[in-house]
Chains A and B, each alone.
Chain A
Amino acid sequence: MSAATVLECKKLCLYRCLTAVALSIMMQFFLLTVFLLFVNFHIFHLLNWITETFSLMFSFYTWLSIMPLISAVIIYGILLGKSHLAVKQYYGTRFKWLLGTIVRKSLFLMIHIAVGFLTAWLYARYLHVDYRSLVYQCYGMECINSYYLFLVGSGISAGCYYFLKENLRHEPEVEYPIIQENKIVKLRSLLYSTMYKSLMKSFVPSMCYAFAFWIFGDIINARFARFFDLEMDTSLSSFFSVLTNLRILFYSWILQSQILSNMNLMQKFFSILLAEEMQFVIEKNPVVTEGQKEVTLVEALTMTQVPIIQTLAALDLFNMTGTSAAHRRKEIYALSIPGGHPYNWNQLSSQCLAIINAFIDDLTTSVKNISTMKSTPLFCQTDKPTATEAAEKILLRQYNETYGIRRMVSEPPTANIGSSSTSGGVSSTTPTAVQRINEQFEAISKQIEQALNTAFHTIPGVFYMFGEPDGARTVFLLSNSQIIVWLTQGLAGICAESLVEDKYGVVQVALPQIIRTLLKLKNELDKLNNVNLNGKKLDRNLITLKNSVRRSLYKIVSVFGDYLRDLFDDPMEIRSLQCFVSYQEV
């Protein structure tokens, strides 16, 4: 994979990220307008209310003072874009997670606080004159304005609240919608639902903040007063003064809801724009004009550095099963023009199989580490004799016994026990001094190891911090399995359509391989049936993956059901697929 292709893919993402940032900036103006409409409302001067709001919006002063907020939004956008495009990391223990993410998380926290602070700072300027500045004249002296402090603190707390709730434990990631609606429709419904929901969501936090301000407000007030060498303001120091000042509570509620919707909108913009489906070309145009590079589907599928592109390529493959993509499927089944090789299909199928196989391998190793699986191996290693073999043996033994032929070989289990006991006896009779010391050391080290192990599990907090929970890796793998879900179904769709559309039969070469891989994946996933993954009995990702693999198998097999004997030699494989043919699979 060339560096130019990677660059091209990154460019595609960058374009989308820039659009998201631009939208976020536009949102700042929109939200400010909404806020102004809220706070300047006059029931008797409706016309005045609207004209005043809009003249404020388009004034030079507003555009100048919104700049700090916009620069914070741009920085936030850059951080969001970076974390959306990053390859997902697996952190086995909480300690590793802490080490790995602390820089990023603290940056995130800082930018959340900055956005919260700057929003409050900006919005406070349009409020009643009592709330506008940090300093005001009281009794001929300069006092610190506790209303202003209250509002700014409210903004900062909203930023922190959003960080704690949404971004502390989870990384911002793309949510792929279940249906691909028009971008405008999605953005519109997002806007409506966010504005409405954030009003609900911010109510309790704003009340909690008011409560906290009543407790700690005085201290903060005093600190600020001393810092700026001003007088203290006691207008918000008693509980009732906070509670009865409905206007400031209302302002703080609206402000918090604006900040929460702002943050939520920015994240969702990234999610919506990045998750929008993308059509990759199947085959590169032979006459490439300079400066116009195309990324093929296979190239996009290999793009492990840019996981979003890889997932979008899988989505593109998944969408290729529909009727409108018939011409694209035709390109896949086509033979290359000089040479006549099924180049497109071979590359595509091998790349898909490589991704799926890599996933199966990762899954197998992670499943092996789950302790419940270790103790009870699902499949016995020793081959069971078939009924006919057993019957033959019994017949032979009966024959021997009737003719008095002595059995020369003892039964295998008893032989094992006998040999181990004799060898143990031999070693115990001849112990040398060195061996004895060695053994003692070994015993001691084993004891220490055991003690440490129990301490690791019993001292509270240690396992929490440094231990890897059971099946955490499997859960991580499954949470990244969306690409596999789409690849399996996309491959199955292309295979199923090939019976009618594939003129040269190019798909049939890889078909047994594909079916085998899907069967292998299904068997691997079936092992996880009754395993408690990370404390959850039902992992939605697991169910999604399992069902999609099963449906893909059904889809292929219901089309190729009559030709299974031509595709496979192994009767066991045919038998396991026959269950799918008759829809009898358990």
Chain B
Amino acid sequence: MVPGGPPVRDPVNDPPEPVLYMGFLRNVVAAGLMLAATLVCAAADEAELRQLVAKFADANNFQATEAVVRELGATGSPAVEGLLTALSQGSLYVRKADDAIFVGDEVGPDIKLRDPLNGEAVGTVAKAGLTKIKVNNTLRRVIRDALGGLTLGSNDPAVRLAAADTMFKNPDPATIAALDAAIAGEAVDSVKARLEQARASAVLLSDLGEADKMAAIDILSSRADQDSLSQLSRFQASAEGPLRASAAAAVATIDQSLALWQVGQNVWYGISLGSVLLLAAIGLAITFGVMGVINMAHGEMVMLGAYTTFVVQQVIRDTAPGLFDWSLAIALPMAFLVSGAVGLAIERGVIRFLYGRPLETLLATWGVSLILQQAVRTIFGPTNQEVGTPTWMSGSFQLGQLAITWNRLCIVVFCLAVFALLLHVMKRTPWGLQMRAVTQNRRMAASMGIRTPRVDALTFALGSGIAGIAGVALSQIDNVSPNFGQGYIIDSFMVVVFGGVGNLWGTFVGAMSLGILNKFLEPYTGAVLGKIMVLVLIILFIQKRPRGLFALKGRAVEA
């Protein structure tokens, strides 16, 4: 009930009376017809299903729809699989004209209709002529469970695996017989193991004997994950005698192994956060570390990279949707060029007049960052832009008890690749040699014939370009908005300063250790205090080592 408000009446539970009455009447009629049909012609399987499906037209609330779904699921007929899937995706429609049920695919303003059972195309109708059958979460779950039972016999092992998982998570003693049959007929080992686990979880709830339950505990404890832990601990609470003891032992073992995995999980999260920090900071390590430019516009270079990704995806969506999975690969060089070009322009236009006055580059680049932000806001608008994730980067996979998401893994790998490439450029190419020469002794380098202004400009462009490709990667995990860069700039500076200015390895170690430190603090202190503590630790650390983790060695008094 809503306090201070009127009594809340639930429109779904309490539909207007006449409709309910009508619906009820019709249901009675339909049920009667169906009964008659069954009696008259027991073989008319499809006709029977169609009768059931037709009930959707009268199901005007979620409960009624749910009842129909259950009935359909209970038929065990594989023909309803596609229909139920369509319902859970919200693409099952009632034609207003004759209350017929269809699966529909949206095509612009119209909807292409298919027969719900055999999938034959029926024609196209305007949206206004159809009513969509609404689903909610509860209904989706019911459908999923119903499908779980139906798809146990599927030909595709992956579908069977998913079915086994669903049944594992929703244990029901009534399914033991079906599972036994499925286990007997299963040829694929991994699926078989899952089916056995599903059976074990059902056995714990059933009234089978102690021996069966003991075996079930063994199977579940070998699974050793969070789900089996919660099932076992629930069982432990209700069990007695030796069963209770063995369940308790299993719970303890699982707890222990999960605690270990937890550490691994934190390390992984730390590495993944570290690589985000590294990606954001690595361009800065060049512009700030090598050139001494306090580049406050660095975050905006990252933002430009992210916006380039958005534009590339937009173009691909309009012209060649098939290339979408490649959009990030296409965006990478584009982002490098865009951010690099802007960086070059900034260096030539502003920064080259300020060399030797590092603190003033801070002011000028801060000005540049404001202009870039507002420019992006004017061109693209202030709201978030949608950057899609290619299918191969979505989802996650399990490594033992570690859930590793593909996009994080891709970012870690990508970040290491960028780092390796950059090291290669700095250490193994003539350009890198020139850069280092200019950094170490500018006048000597100039005397040797190196065109120092050109090296400066290219170095700055390189740093900016790297920031741009970082933007491509970061667009996958964060908002693409004009404020995008602001979120990273302070963290990036902390990483570079912590690691030691002018040293790429310092930046690497700095980013990774800050990432891992953050993730180990977070569970104990919460995210907010964790972040504050990391900042305080950096301040304290700088007192101890005023030149960062890996300071450049030199003999000058004020180097």
Q: Do A and B come from one complex?
A: no
